[in-house]
Chain A
Amino acid sequence: MSSDPLQYNAEGKLRHFLSLDTLQRDTLINILDTAENFTSVNDKAIKKAPLLRGKTVANIFFENSTRTRTTFELAAKRLSADVLNVNLVTSSTTKGESLLDTLRNLEAMQCDMFIVRHGDSGAAHFIASHVADHISVINGGDGQHSHPTQGMLDMFTIRRCKGSFDNLVVVIIGDILHSRVARSDIAALRILGTREIRVAAPRTLLPADVESLGVSVFHRVEDALDGADVVIGLRLQNERMQGATIPSSDEFYYTYGLTPERLRIAKPDAIVMHPGPTNRGVEIEAGVADGQQSVILHQVTYGIAVRMAVMAITMSNTTDATNRQTESGDAAATVGNQTGNP
């Protein structure tokens, strides 16, 4: 697990960003620190850094997404890249043959980075192992496997609000089984040394052997919330009712919904997070989603800086990365200094 030849290049630098569970702690810290520098770019009147000038980033989405795609697009544009949005949701491009054909065509158009979202777990790994050497692949969510930029923006939000991870109790509530966000959060929290990671869900929404991920399991959400510093809600997909995993959204709200009363069980300064979009009245009450403890909109804002960081770091580590960094401004210098992994 310590080496991941697909995500790290021969020099041990991050060149694809596919999943968090095989990454080293220093890599995650570097992403967070770099993102911290990019937040200053985002706060300026002219929100541009020239790190990816002349590069073309292709957003290749096989699944619907508004938030993730637009924040990736903003991140790329703030790094001065050209952005190509390729929406393949409606086409029948799900067979591997045509998936590879699509990639080859985008390669032929001289794209430098692929942001990929796909319904199959492992899709980003598959694409990363078949692209040309000069292309970086960033996983924008693959099946139930991983959503690593969401995981990192969650970590960024937690670090901004709480400082460090080692004293934190983090609770993730809801559909862990089908959630790539939960898997990415759990992996990142574990790597960053979180004191306790809790999951709370009915057994039908937990994967077998979930304890092996390094979490403690709660079936009563009240027990899970006791002493929590961070509360992460997950979106409950409507199709779960068809699969007989829960009887109804009303019953889920009754048993696991994040209400103001339940939130009071957590620490008074606990923060509430959610990857969005929220189902108000299903997994979270409007008063909690919009309440003082909610940092849900901060997550969206930080998502841009985190995605800028991931793009800048991986792009600087592809085979044809030049000394482009040296000609750019302060944020660029930061990336240049921090991309090295031990």
Chain B
Amino acid sequence: MSPPTNSDMPETLTIRNAIDVTGNKQQRVNLTTGNGLISRLEIVSDSTADSPGDTSVADDTLTIDGSGLYLCPGFIDSYARLRDPGFEKKGTIASEVRAAACNGITTVLCSPDTDPVIDESATVELINRKARDSGGARVLPIAALTRSLEGELLSELATLKAAGCIAASNADHALVDLQVIRRCMEYARTFDIVLIFHPADRWLTANGVAHEGATAARIGLPMIPVAAETVALAMLIELAWQTGARVHFSRITSRRGVDMIRQARAGGLRITADTSINHLVYDDTMLSSFDSQFRSVAPFRDSDDRRALREGIVDGTIDSICTDHAPHERDAKLAPFPSAEPGISGFDTLLGLLLKLVSEADIPMTTLIKALTANPARVFDLKQGHLQEGAPADLILFDTEASHTVETMKFLSAGQNSPLNGQELKGRIVHTIINGCLA
């Protein structure tokens, strides 16, 4: 699973004078890595800030001047589609893990809806080998919760966990048989496996493609009511009570959904949740011009729902932010809105949208960084995601001021499907370090 240590790379690496954005107070730090870990982390006092000429470093140490750059652990993306195996015309593991790494994402939880689906350890091994050979972000496959994602038979979850799966999920395929869901939860609990559910009732979703609200009412798009999410949530929360399973809700979209999760947690239930970066930025008014780039499996709801998601990030009800990365070939979006394939290519614009949330939604940068590092690490028991001595040296250095015009043609992801083409975004990943090596 770990990327190879490039033999050309020095064994230690030093970052000097970067701004640590993980704590409540931003401060300048020097950081040194060794053996893939953070070996030393020290706060730079004002008196030493401008004199980085420390001569004690060894010859094989690469030193990076971090002046003016922000430092934090590499992002952990709790839900992304890599499309490989099976849908290589949309993206390959090679293309997507390189894109992830260059955009600051050092760990990717990849969805099991590949072809074949991730329901056998051979598929896990295939993905792990491809990821290793690609040398980008580390890939943590999510196991298919049921065989072929069909919602009837349990996958070999213990075997899949041993092969390296980090969690299990039925991806975007709704589970409808409550007995099957209950058994999934009980079985997963036996082996302490986190289950990821995207709550969406199949019947209430039906052929809907847009949030049931004023925009869809006006332009006549088939609608998905909020109840599609909350009915499924209520059902899953009750079964989580019943079984004691570790349940992570992925891509929450609505205010009522956030409220239900907040309430269940207040009652002591061990559940966690994420939403996507897209849901924090967009609302349903974006659909007015029928731009198929805004078609998403989890619909963008109204501005009040979006506000609730932002509040959920700030108060911790929503633990993490995923990209919901869904690369597509060009033709997949060349269709009228309801017939276009859903999903947005999210890797290449993650940082830009995070900084947009800092400036436009007034969410503290530290909070957003946590939702992409320490929080998903806690949810999925990862050692990554922390800026402290002894933690894995998965790190990023970024610039928050550099402004650029998004050109989807230049995306590193094979998926150029983004509604942001031509828009101005701020921020640039300057360095990504994975396992102590520059990516």
Chain A residues proximal to chain B, CB less than 8 Å: 6, 19, 21, 94-97, 99-100, 118, 120-123, 125-126, 130, 142-146, 180, 183, 207-210, 212-213
Say yes or no: is B409 at the interface (Cβ < 8 Å to chain A). no
- Tell me which of B216, B331, B335 contacts A207 (CB under 8 A): B216
Q: Are A126 and B336 in contact (CB under 8 A)?
A: yes
The answer on a CB contact under 8 Å between B340 and A145 is: no
| Interface residue from A6, A126, A208 paired with B292 (Cβ < 8 Å) | A126
State the CA gap A143–B223 with chains docked (Å): 13
Residue B225 CB within 8 A of the other chain: yes
CB distance from B304 to the nearest CB of A (A): 12
Contact A96 B218 (CB under 8 A): no
Whose C-beta in chain A lies nearest to the C-beta of B292? Answer: A126
Selected contact of B339 from candidates A6, A120, A130, CB within 8 Å: A120
* In the complex, per-residue mask of B213-232: 1 if CB is within 8 Å of any chain A CB, else 0: 11011111111010000000
Q: Which chain B residues border A96 with CB–CB below 8 Å?
A: 331-336, 339-340
**Which of A99, A146, A208 lies in contact with B212, CB distance below 8 A?**
A208
Interchain CB contact (< 8 A) of A121 among B214, B332, B337: B337
Taking CB atoms and an 8 Å cut-off, the chain B residues in 335-358 that contact chain A are: 335-340
CB-defined contacts of A100 to chain B, threshold 8 Å: 334
User: A118 — which chain B residues lie within 8 A by C-beta?
Assistant: 336
- The 17 sampled A-B contact pairs (Cβ below 8 Å) are A95-B335, A96-B331, A96-B334, A99-B335, A121-B221, A121-B336, A122-B219, A126-B336, A126-B337, A143-B221, A146-B219, A183-B219, A183-B220, A208-B223, A209-B213, A210-B217, A212-B217
A130: B residues at CB distance < 8 A:
334
Residue in B219, B220, B331, B332 with the greatest tally of chain A CB atoms within 10 Å: B220
B290 CB within 8 Å of chain A: yes
In the bound complex, how far is the Cα of B221 from the Cα of A183, in angstroms? 12
> Across the interface, do B217 and A208 meet the contact criterion of CB distance under 8 Å?
yes
CA distance A120 to B32 in the complex (A): 57
Chain B residues near A209 (CB-CB < 8 A) = 213-214, 217
Given contacts A96-B335, A126-B335, A143-B220, 20 further A-B contacts (CB under 8 A): A96-B333, A97-B334, A99-B336, A100-B334, A118-B336, A120-B338, A121-B336, A122-B290, A125-B290, A126-B292, A144-B220, A144-B222, A145-B219, A183-B218, A183-B219, A183-B220, A207-B212, A207-B216, A209-B217, A213-B218
Q: Within the complex, which residue of B219, B220, B225, B340 is in contact with A208, where a contact is CB–CB below 8 Å?
A: B225
Chain B residues positioned under 8 Å from A208 (CB to CB) = 212-214, 216-217, 223, 225
The docked-state distance in angstroms from the alpha carbon of A120 to that of B219 is: 11
* With A96-B331, A126-B290, A126-B292 as contacts: A120 and B216 at CB distance below 8 Å: no
Q: Residue B289 at the A interface, CB < 8 A?
A: yes
CB distance from A258 to the nearest CB of B (A): 24
A21, closest chain B residue (CB): B218
> Which residues of B, 73-98, contact A by the 8 Å Cβ criterion?
none
Residues of chain A lying within 8 A (CB to CB) of residue B332: 96
- Bound together, the chains give a CA A170 to CA B212 distance in angstroms of 26
Min distance, Cβ B295 to any Cβ of chain A, angstroms: 10
Docked CA distance A209–B221 (Å): 13
Q: A96-B340, A97-B331, A100-B334 are in contact. Are A121 and B290 (CB under 8 A)?
A: yes
Q: In the assembled complex, which residues on chain B have CB atoms less than 8 Å from the CB atom of A94? A: 339
Q: Is A121 within 8 A of B339, CB to CB?
A: no
C-alpha gap A221/B289 in the complex (Å): 34
- The CA-CA distance from A139 to B202 in the complex, in Å, is 32
What's the minimum C-beta distance from A151 to chain B, rounded to whole angstroms? 13
Q: Mark B278-292, 1 if CB is under 8 A from A, else 0.
A: 000000000001101
A35: shortest Cβ distance to chain B, in Å?
A: 25
**Which residues of chain A are near B220, meaning CB under 8 Å?**
121, 143-146, 180, 183
Chain A residues with CB under 8 Å of B338's CB are 120-122, 143
Given known A-B contacts A126-B290, A126-B292, A212-B217, A120 and B331 have beta carbons under 8 A apart: no
A120 to B207 Cα, complex, angstroms: 12
> Closest chain B residue to A94 by CB distance?
B339
Query: Among B217, B223, B289, which residue has its beta carbon within 8 angstroms of that of A213?
Result: B217
Q: Is the CB of A122 within 8 A of B214?
A: no
The complex places the Cα of A144 from the Cα of B334 at a distance, in Å, of 20
Residue of chain B at shortest CB distance from A183: B220
A residues near B335, Cβ cutoff 8 Å: 95-97, 99, 120, 126
Docked complex Cα distance between A171 and B289 (Å): 28
Once the chains are docked, how many angstroms separate the CA of A209 from the CA of B292?
23
A252, chain B: closest CB distance, angstroms: 21
Q: Which residue of B lies closest to A209 (CB)?
A: B214
A142 to B336 alpha-carbon distance, docked (Å):
10
Query: Least Cβ distance of A140 to chain B in Å?
Result: 14
| Closest A residue by C-beta to B290 | A122
User: Nearest chain B CB to A92's CB is how many angstroms away?
Assistant: 13
**A residues less than 8 Å from B219 (CB atoms):** 19, 21, 121-122, 145-146, 183
A157 to chain B, nearest CB (A): 22
- By beta carbon, the residue of chain A nearest B223 is A208
A-chain residues with CB within 8 Å of residue B331 when the two chains form the complex: 96-97
Q: Measured between C-beta atoms, what is the minimum distance from A172 to chain B in Å?
A: 14
Rounded to whole angstroms, the CA-CA distance of A144 and B336 in the bound complex is 13
Is the Cβ of B339 less than 8 Å from the Cβ of A95? yes
Most A CB atoms within 10 A — which of B214, B217, B223, B334? B217
